[in-house]
A = this chain, B = another copy of it.
């Protein structure tokens, strides 16, 4: 199987990730932060180590500002529903995933107002449109760092500048970029950063997190046992306990730590370079094939390693089915949980065939994908 569905989840993971998870379960499978015995303490330290590694990667000063969640979606929900209140206005974009758009839609019922900035056909945002839409009651801007449909990279530096010049919070969905692109919450002045653990951070499914800058008033989504201030019926205010109730996903978080360690050891710039080279080559070769329509910027300097295409008017699910059955290539068709992005690029009916490249893909994988697309294009 040639796996080109890394935007959904990366596969495989580095061998160290599997090993770290098994080791954590077999060697210190206790409940971290609950009891005081050595196994529980060891589990607690292992979780803290992952916080430190992520802090290093994202230049976060205090590891306690990282909240572990079960996926990026939970982090986005926490940031969105924990911050926005009745009467607030929020600005987002037409390239967002349903993990941003659906919580915002749900908040309409309590009187939160959303402006969705329309991006262009390649998924690019005109940042002047953000500035134009700021109102008296605007509280936050939320954008993706890169579209999961077209890969289009967003100018998060510039958007952050607009946000802070106008006294707004800026929340970034790094689902497609964390682990491949430089993210520095300090220099980029990001207030809330949501990230999955199981995509380019190379950890297992079931992990993710959200960084929340100090000084932002966020209501927790869940209350429960935190192993701290157990005498009180009131959820503690201290971080990360306020937002992390119940037993954490120790093996998952330890695996995520191993993934981040792999990234830091390999060098994020080397990972990016490899993925960019494959993406560039893939786009170049696809352009030579008749009937292939490529969406997005078609320029690796402007996009994450996601390449979405269609073959003439062929249904994207049909093409993906053939890629799987005949060519043993895994991609993702359809709408990718991002309906407005597909409306933006004009593929709401047809969907697209999305190829997404990961660090463990090889030049040969790309060659095989090109060959497969060429053959399918011939047949239709």
Contact = CB atoms under 8 A, between A and B. Distances in A.
A132 interface: no
A70 to B, nearest CB: 4
A284 interface: no
Stoichiometry, copies per complex: 2
A101 interface: yes
DSSP majority for the A interface? loop
Given A206-B206, A339-B232, A105 B8 contact: no
Interface in A224-258: 224-227, 230-235, 245-252
Contact of A71 (B1, B198, B246): B246
Nearest to A245: B73
Contacts of A234: 102, 105
A225 B337 contact: yes
Given A221-B77, A235-B102, A39 B330 contact: yes
Contacts of A98: 223-226, 230, 233
Interface string A1-41: 10101001101110001100110011001110011111110
A70 B73 contact: no
Contacts of A101: 233
Given A11-B29, A226-B337, A324-B37, A73 B246 contact: yes
A320 B38 CA distance: 11
Contacts of A36: 317, 320-321, 324, 332-333
Interface string A67-97: 0011111101100000000000000000001
A38 B222 contact: no
B205 A235 contact: no
Contact of A22 (B18, B34, B73): B18
A1 B38 contact: yes
Given A198-B247, A232-B339, A35 B332 contact: yes
B9 A222 contact: no
